[in-house]
Amino acid sequence: MTIRTEPRRVARPLAPGREVTDALVVAPSQTTAGRARGVAPLRREGPEKLTGEAKYADDLVFPGAWYGATIRSTEAHARLLALDRDDGFDWSAVVLVTAADIPGDNVVSLISDDQPVLVPVGGEIQHHAEPLALLAAADRATLRAASHAIRPRTERLVPVFDPLASEHVFAHYEIGAGDVERGFAEAELVLEGTYRVGHQEQLYIENNAMIAVPRDDGGVTVHGSLQCPYYVHKALKRSLRLSDAQARVVQAETGGGFGGKEEYPSILAIHAALLARRCGRRVRMIYDRHEDIAATTKRHPAVVTHRTGIRRDGTLVAQDIDVVMDGGAYCTLTPVVLSRGALHAGGPYRCPNVRIRARATRTNTPPNGAFRGFGAPQTQFAAETHLNRVAETLDLSPLEIRRRNVYRPGDQTPTGQRLRESVAGEEVLERAAEAAEFERLRERTRRARVARGAAGPGATPLATAHDRTATGIGLALAWHGAGFTGSGEVKLASVVSLELTPAGAIRILTASTEMGQGTKTIFPQLVADALGVPYEAVEIAPQDTAFVPDSGPTVASRTAMVVGGLLLQAAARLRGRVEEATGGAFAETYPAWAAVNGPVRIDQRFEPYPGVHFDDETYRGDAYPAYGWAACVATVEVDLDTGEVSVLDVVAADDVGRVIHPVLAEGQVEGGTLQAVGYATIEEMKLEDGRYLNDRLATYLIPTALDAPRITSILVEAPFSGAPHGAKGVGELPMDVGAPAVVAAIHDAVGVWIHDLPATPERILAALGVTARPEEPGREGTAPAVRAATDAADTAREVREPIRAGTDPRPEARTDPLPLRGPQPEGEPDWPSEDDR
Amino acid sequence: MNVRMLVNGAPVEIDVPGMRRLLDVLREDLGLTGTKEGCGEGECGACSVILDGQVVDACLVPVSQADGSTVRTVEGLAPTPGGGAGDRRLDELQQAFLETGGAQCGICTPGMLMAARAYLDAGGGPDEAAIREAIAGNLCRCTGYTKIVEAIARAAAGGAA
């Protein structure tokens, strides 16, 4: 595929498998023909992955390597008094590392220095499964025996599990525009609601894994499964007191990350390195699934409360939004997750009066961290579900209310950012709705619902004589800031390099990792296109800190946009230099020129996008250089006896700025959509005393091929002029819209709103009044007595926190529309009325 | 115990504890690391291999049960397994995965390929529902399964699509 480097001004859809055309949809039944395009290059590392030759961390053989293990806490909050060793065990066969053995700082940190590498004796254990000590042995059996021969002695402390009650605040933000109180005074209707989401596990199929190899210079080389080589590099240097050269980080083939390998590999690398140093041998630390789920980061649980003022015609006039995220026991990336969540909390809608207050607090649960979407899926689930309830109250179509409020070019966001270009919310909305035949199918499901509702007095949507299932269709729309938030990219100042060797090899050097999304394919594709050479002529160097510069972490959907953009700039410089010298086309002249003048290395450093400014102190300005836009229409079937949901079909329209590789871009949309479907329907961590109860793959379920809907992806291109190729990134977009679309479809099927994710059969049956209400997501399973005390605490807290006044988050509180003025809207919904709890 | 197997067409005789997992024998004793471990309890299917024509999770099979059996792993799919640089060959199923984008991070891919190969060898066709059923024991977190189903359907249709 040709990469156009001249951004077009008007968004035009690019249909999968076709030329640019208005015929957008590939029929979902077309599974055999026409979906794969021969034009784009094939995945660069694909053959190795398909033959089993690709080497993931656990596949790497290091003769003589010992095995490492972690001794973890079994309490959520305690003081570590001692590590008692069984005298009967032969300790000469193993090495033990405690906090006292850490040569550098006992800290692993991205933002705040609060998390220890190992809890020291005398220190506080802050969460279940926290690392206390490390062991290594020559064989697994000895290692296992040693693990059982060491017992932490602790003194239990009172844990905090409720993020609403926690007084330790990691971060808080207030974002505002206009005058919210005046907005509510002008509103004809005010609607309130509280929405809750729980933890979600990234569940990459390859567990976290790291192997440390001692170096002759006293340093250490680690080989591991990771997203961000330079995060690991920095962490190793600090805790082991190493120089830049003494710490070397090599990415092994990585079996999925999704944010889960953004930060956690740093502590794992330190652990492996400490053991390797101590025993003077190579040490393998390969987590099994149980340890990986029990100990590593999850998506942040959140409680989001909306109070929205609307005019009768559906125009938003006021949004008052309160976001509380549960950070877990340590700060990790929580402030930036919260920031992104808060900045996206209003959804992609124009509103003159907005107040968004967000805080993240500490609880004695394992730390939460990055997961695809990074705070935005949580807040946009709430925003979209709430907007659908607004539409229902006004008897407006979900499509129509979005048409009336979606951002258009020239609109201003709550941070005062003027959306000048690359604004495609309307486009993706219309494309998805049209392709899914949203209004037509919605009318059909409405009729079916009315027919079921007419079954007679006392009939519930479930109590019907004939139907065993009900079908529903739902819509959601979202925006997603491209790249780092605020001034993040400016601070990162990423560097990429492009090399031309005397032998004529063109080599890309970046720290951007391949974890399935296609980095190793699109980078050579972009550079080859910019240089006018074949794809095969461009090599990509391994992600090894000994060779590649720090091009920043592989996160935030920034790789294609930011790092890809830098490579295009570097390629343009290289091409210019050669062509200036030779007077001929680069492709024709570079081999001979390089033989005489090589090697040449072009370093390209990130420069701020022109006209993009953000003030981190005031939270005013351009929160992101550009936004991607996503719409999703989901069709579900709800079993009327059991409340089980099958998601049958999803149509996703995503504006990615510019499609670089259609197959890979579709792959991102499809994969992200299914993760969102899992988030919406089945994925839930249960906690007891701060411990994840379902910390195995047998109990934490993700969708199988049979659970997966047919997914149709429509790629829309509204280029961003700040990037030379116009790309904005794709990875996180689909994660924002899937869950609210599914929940809207469930409502369309059975007439109840599910406020808490996931929408399990238990929650659906409870909403229908059939069974008792289950636990809130992300919270402790608590005994009735404790629950009563918690409720009392909730009430007390409301007095202290004015924002919660009138938005009682307790289960029994109604959050029905509160008409402030004017008559009730005419044309009541014609499906059975329900208590929306 | 002394275990004899035919692994990817090659006779293997190995002296190992009978309860050693087939997965560990393949990965550690025979160096066939293409077969992956995702959960160790038979939930994810990353360790799927074909044992006497049946797809099994190699993490759940004690090697004593594989004694006298034929085992096929991802390394045994291509006509010239592990072919040298520049001469790597893929079978039509692997080629279909490559072309449709059925492999992303690649960690589920070997197991997925083995489940698909067993389905095709049993005469499975390009029917979407049947393909989804055939790979229901293999979890993928990257693709949403869309392109995996396409790839298997394409291979089932003779790669002509």
Instruction: Indicate the DSSP class of residue A823.
Output: P
**CA gap A22, A25 in Å, rounded:** 9
Residue A517 sits at the chain B interface (C-beta within 8 Å): yes
Q: Encode pLDDT of B18-72 as tens digits.
A: 999 999 999 999 999 999 999 999 999 999 999 999 999 999 999 999 999 999 9
Pick A70 or A31 by higher pLDDT: A70
Of the candidates A528, A514, A523, the residue with the CA atom closest to the CA atom of residue A566 = A523
Using CB atoms, pick whichever of A34, A515, A671 lies closest to residue B144: A671
Query: Per DSSP, what are the bridge partners of residue A209?
Result: A286
Q: State how far Cα B15 lies from the chain centre.
A: 24
**CA gap A418, A408 in Å, rounded:** 10
pLDDT at A459 > cutoff 70 = no
**C-beta of residue A106 within 8 angstroms of C-beta of residue A145:** no
Using CB atoms, pick whichever of A52, A54, A663 lies closest to residue B73: A52
Cβ-defined contact of A205 to B46 (cutoff 8 Å): yes
Amino acid at the residue A672: G
pLDDT at A381 > cutoff 50 = yes
| A574 SS3 class | helix
pLDDT of A3:
32
Residue B39 sits at the chain A interface (C-beta within 8 Å): yes
Mutate to test the interface with B, among A205, A648, A706 (most CBs of B within 10 A): A205
**CA gap A642, A750 in Å, rounded:** 12
List, in order of start, the domains of chain A with CATH numbers. 59-159+205-297 (3.30.365.10), 169-200+302-483+623-804 (3.30.365.10), 494-605 (3.30.365.10)
| A360 SS3 class | strand
Q: What sections of A12-82 are H helices per DSSP?
A: 46-51
Using CB atoms, pick whichever of A49, A258, A674 lies closest to residue B144: A674
B-chain residue closest to A205, CA distance: B38
Q: Encode pLDDT of A780-833 as tens digits.
A: 754 333 333 333 333 323 222 222 223 333 333 333 433 333 333 333 333 333
Mutate to test the interface with B, among A39, A48, A51 (most CBs of B within 10 A): A51
Phi-psi region of A532 (alpha: psi -120 to 50; beta: other; left: phi over 0): left
A-chain residue closest to B152, CA distance: A32
Q: Encode pLDDT of A135-181 as tens digits.
A: 999 999 999 999 999 999 999 999 999 999 999 999 999 999 999 99
Q: Which residues contact A317 (CB under 8 A, 6 or more apart)?
A: A183, A184, A186, A187, A309, A310, A311, A351, A352, A353
Residue B83 distance to chain A (closest CA, Å): 9
Residue A49 sits at the chain B interface (C-beta within 8 Å): yes
Mutate to test the interface with A, among B107, B133, B154 (most CBs of A within 10 A): B107
**C-beta of residue A354 within 8 angstroms of C-beta of residue A220:** no
Instruction: Indicate the DSSP class of residue B119.
Output: H
Using CB atoms, pick whichever of A56, A202, A711 lies closest to residue B146: A711
Using CB atoms, pick whichever of B104, B107, B149 lies closest to residue A31: B149
- ipTM rounded to 2 decimals: 0.96
Q: Please, which residues 127-156 of chain B have a Cβ atom closer than 8 Å to chain A?
A: 128, 131-133, 135-150, 153-154
Cβ-defined contact of B105 to A255 (cutoff 8 Å): yes
Q: Please, which residues 157-216 of chain A have a Cβ atom closer than 8 Å to chain B?
A: 202-207
Cβ-defined contact of A705 to B73 (cutoff 8 Å): no
Residue A81's H or E segment, with its range, is: strand A78-85
Cβ-defined contact of B78 to A51 (cutoff 8 Å): yes
Interface contacts (A, B; CB < 8 Å): 196
**CA gap A580, A585 in Å, rounded:** 9
| A420 SS3 class | coil
Residue A669 distance to chain B (closest CA, Å): 8
CA-based R_g, chain B, Å: 15
Of the candidates A1, A362, A345, the residue with the CA atom closest to the CA atom of residue A169 = A362
Sort out which chain A residues have CB atoms less than 8 A from B143's CB and list them. Answer: 667, 670-671, 674
How would you list the strands of the sheet with A600-605, edge to edge? A538-540, A506-509, A495-500, A600-605
Of the candidates A226, A282, A219, the residue with the CA atom closest to the CA atom of residue A258 = A226
Share of chain A above pLDDT 70, in %: 87
pLDDT of A461:
53
pLDDT of A821:
35
Sort out which chain A residues have CB atoms less than 8 A from B7's CB and list them. Answer: none
Helix, strand counts (H, E) of chain A: 19, 28
**CA gap A362, A690 in Å, rounded:** 12
Share of chain A above pLDDT 90, in %: 84
pLDDT of A455:
57
Residue B2 distance to chain A (closest CA, Å): 22
A-chain residue closest to B131, CA distance: A705
Q: Helix-strand-coil percent breakdown of chain A, rounded to 5?
A: 30, 20, 45
Cβ-defined contact of B34 to A53 (cutoff 8 Å): yes
**CA gap A546, A56 in Å, rounded:** 19
**CA gap A69, A272 in Å, rounded:** 9
Task: Give DSSP secondary structure letters for A176-231.
Answer: EES-HHHHHHH-SEEEEEEEEE--B----SSPPEEEEEE-TTS-EEEEE--S-HHH
B-chain residue closest to A33, CA distance: B161
Sort out which chain B residues have CB atoms less than 8 A from A17's CB and list them. Answer: none
Query: Per DSSP, what are the bridge partners of residue A253?
Result: A56
pLDDT at B14 > cutoff 50 = yes
Residue A509 distance to chain B (closest CA, Å): 21
Q: Encode pLDDT of A535-562 as tens digits.
A: 999 999 999 999 999 999 999 999 999 9
Amino acid at the residue A833: S
pLDDT of A177:
96
Pick B89 or A3 by higher pLDDT: B89
Q: Encode pLDDT of A570-609 as tens digits.
A: 999 999 999 999 999 999 999 999 999 989 999 999 999 9
B-chain residue closest to A517, CA distance: B104
Task: Quote the strand ranges of A231-387, DSSP E.
Answer: 247-251, 283-286, 302-310, 316-326, 354-361
The predicted model gives A353-359 an average pLDDT of 98
Q: Please, how many CA atoms are within 13 Å of residue A40, restricted to the half-sphere of its CB?
A: 28
Cβ-defined contact of B141 to A204 (cutoff 8 Å): yes
Residue A413 distance to chain B (closest CA, Å): 33
Residue A35 distance to chain B (closest CA, Å): 7
Q: Encode pLDDT of A244-264 as tens digits.
A: 999 999 999 999 999 999 999
Residue B66 distance to chain A (closest CA, Å): 21
**CA gap A632, A161 in Å, rounded:** 34
Of the candidates A732, A683, A736, the residue with the CA atom closest to the CA atom of residue A381 = A736
Please state whether the peptide bond connecting residue A758 to the residue before it is cis, i.e. omega within 30 degrees of 0.
Answer: yes
Sort out which chain A residues have CB atoms less than 8 A from B78's CB and list them. Answer: 51
**CA gap A660, A170 in Å, rounded:** 38
Cβ-defined contact of A706 to B132 (cutoff 8 Å): yes
**Residue A172 in tokens:** 């808080």
**B159 confidence band (pLDDT: 50, 70, 90):** low
Q: Which residues contact A249 (CB under 8 A, 6 or more apart)?
A: A221, A222, A224, A226, A229, A230, A232, A233, A236, A269, A544, A545
pLDDT of A4:
30
Q: How open is the CA angle A745-A751-A754, to the nearest 5 degrees?
A: 65
Sort out which chain A residues have CB atoms less than 8 A from B146's CB and list them. Answer: 666, 670, 708, 710-711
pLDDT of A463:
54
Q: Encode pLDDT of A178-198 as tens digits.
A: 999 999 999 999 999 999 999
| A99 SS3 class | helix
Sort out which chain B residues have CB atoms less than 8 A from A675's CB and list them. Answer: 141
**CA gap A96, A91 in Å, rounded:** 9
**CA gap A312, A188 in Å, rounded:** 6
Q: Please, which residues 280-309 of chain A have a Cβ atom closer than 8 Å to chain B?
A: 288-289
How would you list the strands of the sheet with B10-15, edge to edge? B10-15, B2-7, B69-72, B48-51, B54-57
Q: Encode pLDDT of B73-119 as tens digits.
A: 999 998 765 444 444 589 999 999 999 999 999 999 999 999 999 99
Q: How many CB atoms lie within 10 A of CB A818?
A: 12
Query: Per DSSP, what are the bridge partners of residue A222?
Result: A212, A249
Q: Please, which residues 99-118 of chain B have a Cβ atom closer than 8 Å to chain A?
A: 99-101, 103-110, 113
Q: Please, which residues 606-665 of chain A have a Cβ atom closer than 8 Å to chain B?
A: 663-664
**CA gap A39, A35 in Å, rounded:** 12
Of the candidates B98, B40, B120, B32, the residue with the CA atom closest to the CA atom of residue B71 = B32
- The position carrying tokens 């009541």 is A828
**CA gap B155, A194 in Å, rounded:** 49
Share of chain B above pLDDT 90, in %: 90
**C-beta of residue A304 within 8 angstroms of C-beta of residue A378:** yes
**A465 confidence band (pLDDT: 50, 70, 90):** low
Using CB atoms, pick whichever of B104, B141, B157 lies closest to residue A203: B141
Query: Per DSSP, what are the bridge partners of residue A97?
Result: A134
Using CB atoms, pick whichever of B40, B78, B141 lies closest to residue A205: B141
Task: Give DSSP secondary structure letters for A136-171.
Answer: EESSHHHHHHHHHTEEEEEEE------TTT---EEE
pLDDT of B92:
94
Query: Per DSSP, what are the bridge partners of residue A645?
Result: A638
Cβ-defined contact of B126 to A31 (cutoff 8 Å): yes
Q: How many CB atoms lie within 10 A of CB B123?
A: 7
pLDDT of A775:
82
Residue A62 sits at the chain B interface (C-beta within 8 Å): no
**A454 confidence band (pLDDT: 50, 70, 90):** low
Residue A37 sits at the chain B interface (C-beta within 8 Å): no
Q: Which residues contact A834 (CB under 8 A, 6 or more apart)?
A: A751, A752, A767, A768, A769
Cβ-defined contact of B147 to A207 (cutoff 8 Å): no
**C-beta of residue A270 within 8 angstroms of C-beta of residue A117:** yes
**CA gap A102, A84 in Å, rounded:** 19
Q: Helix-strand-coil percent breakdown of chain B, rounded to 5?
A: 35, 15, 50
pLDDT of A460:
55
What mean pLDDT, rounded, does chain A reach?
A: 89
Amino acid at the residue B15: D
Q: Which residues contact A451 (CB under 8 A, 6 or more apart)?
A: none
Q: Encode pLDDT of A92-113 as tens digits.
A: 999 999 999 999 999 999 999 9
Residue B33 sits at the chain A interface (C-beta within 8 Å): yes
B-chain residue closest to A696, CA distance: B39
pLDDT of B80:
65
Q: Please, which residues 51-80 of chain B have a Cβ atom closer than 8 Å to chain A?
A: 73-75, 77-78
List, in order of start, the domains of chain B with CATH numbers. 2-76 (3.10.20.30), 92-156 (1.10.150.120)
